[in-house]
Structure formats: C-alpha cells, structure tokens
Amino acid sequence: MKYIGPDFCNVFDGLSDEELLIQKTAHEFVKNEFLPLVVDAYNQGTFPKSLIPRMGELGFFGSTLPQKYGGNEISQLAYGLIMQELEKGDSGLRSFCSVQNGLVIYPIYQYGSQEQKDRWLPSLCSGETIGCFGLTESNHGSDPGGMKTKAVKDGDDWIISGSKMWITNGSIADIAIVWAKDEKGIVRGFILEKDMEGFSASDIHGKMSLRASITSELSMNNVRVPDSNRLPSVEGLKGPLSCLTQARFSIVWGTLGAAIDCYEIALKYSSDRVQFSKPISAFQLTQQKLTQMIQEITKAQLLSLQLSHLKENNQLDFSHISLGKLNNVDIARKCAKLSREILGANGIMEEYSIMRHLMNLETVSTYEGTHEIHTLIIGEKITGQSAF
C-alpha cells in the first residue's frame, strides 16, 4: 500500500500501514460516496446530511480520542490525512468534520466534566449527535475578546443572551459550544442544547463560497442553562482559542488536499488535451505552472508532516499552526488559480472541482483567523512585540 497522491520528494515513505489504510479509507469514501452528491449539494447550498452516520462509522469523528469515549486513538498524522482526503472532495466536508472534532469534541474532552464527557463524547464520535461552536459575533470576528454575549449567574443556572454569526453546522446541530462573558467579564464556555427555550438557529443564505456547508446565526434570548452544562476546567479566551488551534490543524491538512486535487486535475487534463498536434503538457508555460504547483505542494507536505510530529509530541505552539494555515491556504489558492488557467474554459465547469475549490478557499482564507491575523501572530512570536 502506498501514499495516495503526488509525493515528489518521498515525504510520506515513512507512513505506517495503519496510516496508509486510514488515508485509503477516507479517499474511497470521498470518491465513491461524497463526490456523487457534492455538485447538487453545492448548487442547492446544503450539506449531504445522509453521510453523517457513515462518517461516524468510518471513525472520522473523535478519531484521536481514547476508545472508551468512542475514539480510535489514531496518530495526529493519520487524522491529518483524513482531513486532506475530505477536502479533496470539498472544503464543506472537511469543515463539518473539523468543527465536530476540534471545536466540539475537543473542548468537551479537554475542559468538560466527567459527566459531560460520558454523556456527549460517544454520540459525537458516532455522529449520532452533531455539534457547532459559537464564538464569532457579527461585530467581533478577529477580536473575540470584544464579544457581547453575556452569561449571568442565577442560582444554580446561567442566563445567556446574545448572538453568534457564521456558525458552521448551526441549524443542524444538537448542541452548541457557546462562549460568553460573565458579570466580571470572564469568558466561559457552555454546552447549549437545541431544545433549550430561547435558543434558536437560522441559516445564512446567499453565500457564493462554501455552499456545500450549513452556515447559521445562533440567537440566545435569556436561555437558562444549568451550571452542569458549563465547561468547568477553563476560563478566559484560552478556552476558545485553544479549540481554534485544533481546528486550524485540520485546515492545514485540508487545504493541502484542495491543492493536490487541483494539481492532479491539471496534470491529467494537460496530458490529455492536444493542441498544435501535441498535449499541452509538452509546452513550456504549462510545465512551468505544473512545476510551481508541485513545488508548493511539496513544501506544504513537509510543513504539514512536521506540525503533525510536533502535535503528536505535545510540542505544537499556536504560532506553528498559524504558519501552517497561512502557508497552506496560500498555496492552495495559487494551485487552484493555476489549475483553472491550464484547463482554460473547461476550468469553470462543474464537471471539474476547480471552481468549487477556488470559491471555497476564499472562505477558508478568512475564517478561523484571517491571513493578516496569522501574519501578526507569527510576527509577535519572532519579534516579541504585539502589533494588535
């Protein structure tokens, strides 16, 4: 069994049989079960929810968790390979999975009580329960510390009021991890359940990007939440920001997958497309574009592999993830553009995934930290000076 995809410098020669099998499983799921549905889902602006139980069955949710919670205890690299394969299909598919993992399962596992872990993790890992993550507000995106959502203590309960915007999976979620400020201005995390009075979600329509994904606004009108639904082991912005670090790891690998898909389409097309009596892959300018793509993909593979090793050994810093997201989103956008150029007019057709990737990556570029924000995170790390 071999690594699936381009590997110009044999970066993945050291993959274990288990990691290769996990990649193959995700690859075949995308090819055989997701791709036949994605064009209609994208055109209709929805997510193929029928696939969620199957994703749980294949172990895509909570896959690095202990088995007692429904996980499979796979390596961080293997998890990255799953994200890579899912985004080869569409950013919306990878987004669903990375939200479920990094933004819902992770905070409950890391900061939840034992009761919360026992109650929620097994069903989240199986896909029986769907979650979302409420941090961003309409006026507070890059500056989450300015959030207006409030949590006021009332006896053994909390009264939560406010709204959250751009929430992946919002209207189809059974639970939401919502972050709010208490009376002292301390950020706290809560598990809100969809049937709680005063809690609602409405979908955002009119998106031209990430259309095969549910995006919603969460509204909380004096929602009464028992203290047993508060995440007890974290206070402050450390909580939500650490969750974003987990989800951004998924983006690092996912955008690499989008770049690879664009490259492979362009390579095959240019080998088949004949102009002036020879395939266009024989022309210098086409080869230049293909070379630029494999050059950037190879560097991104090396970076992704190193970040996986650091994460496996608990040595990963959030600034490392910022570098990964910054680099891999950038190279994926470049590869999508070059691939579209190689395909010419055919590059805009839904028969090929290039335009979906191009449009989706415009969203991926700005969500979970914009290009500028990640630049400044890295800048602060190397200079010791905050530009915020």
DSSP 178: E
> Cα separation of 220 and 194, whole Å?
11
Q: What does each of the 388 residues of the chain score in pLDDT, given as a tens digit?
A: 899 999 999 999 999 999 999 999 999 999 999 999 999 999 999 999 999 999 999 999 999 999 999 999 999 999 999 999 999 999 999 999 999 999 999 999 999 999 999 999 999 999 999 999 999 988 887 778 889 999 999 999 999 999 999 999 999 999 999 999 999 999 999 999 999 999 999 999 999 999 999 999 999 999 999 999 999 999 999 999 999 999 999 999 999 999 999 999 999 999 999 999 999 999 999 999 999 999 999 999 999 999 999 999 999 999 999 999 999 999 999 999 999 999 999 999 999 999 999 999 999 999 988 989 999 999 999 998 988 8
Q: How far apart are CA 80 and CA 83, in angstroms?
A: 5
SS3 212: coil
| 321-341 residues labelled b (16+ CB within 10 A) or e (exposed) | bbbbbbbbbbbbbbbbbbbbe
CA torsion sign, 352 to 2 to 78 to 11? Answer: negative
Six-digit token string for 93:
């598919």
* Residue pLDDT, tens place only, 84-127: 999 999 999 999 999 999 999 999 999 999 999 999 999 999 99
Residues of the chain with CATH 2.40.110.10: 131-229
Do residues 333 and 327 make contact, with C-beta atoms less than 8 angstroms apart?
no
Parallel/antiparallel/unpaired status of strands 131-134 and 150-154: unpaired
CB 325 within 8 A of CB 316: no
Model confidence, pTM: 0.94
Angle value at C-alpha 182, between 180 and 184, nearest 5 degrees: 135
The segment(s) of the chain belonging to CATH 1.20.140.10 are 238-383
DSSP state of 348: G
- Could you please state the CATH topology (level 3) that the domain comprising 131-229 is classified under: Butyryl-CoA Dehydrogenase, subunit A; domain 2 (2.40.110)
Task: Record the tokens describing residue 1, joined without a space.
Answer: 């069994």
pLDDT digits (tens, 9 = 90+) for 351-382: 999 999 999 999 999 998 898 999 999 999 99
Burial 256-277 (b: 16+ CB within 10 A, else e): bbbbbbbbbbbbebbeeeeeee
What is the distance, to the nearest Å, from the Cα of residue 190 to the centroid of all Cα atoms in its chain?
21
First CA to last CA distance, the chain: 48
Token pair for 311: 């994460």
Amino acid at 122: P
CA distance 213 to 132: 12
Which residues lie below 8 Å from residue 384, measured CB to CB, with a gap of 6+?
A: none
Active site residues: 368
CATH class of 238-383: mainly alpha
The CA–CA distances, whole Å, from 49 to 26, 195, 256 equal 17, 20, 24
Give CATH for domain 17-126: 1.10.540.10
In the chain, ranges of CATH 1.10.540.10 domains: 17-126
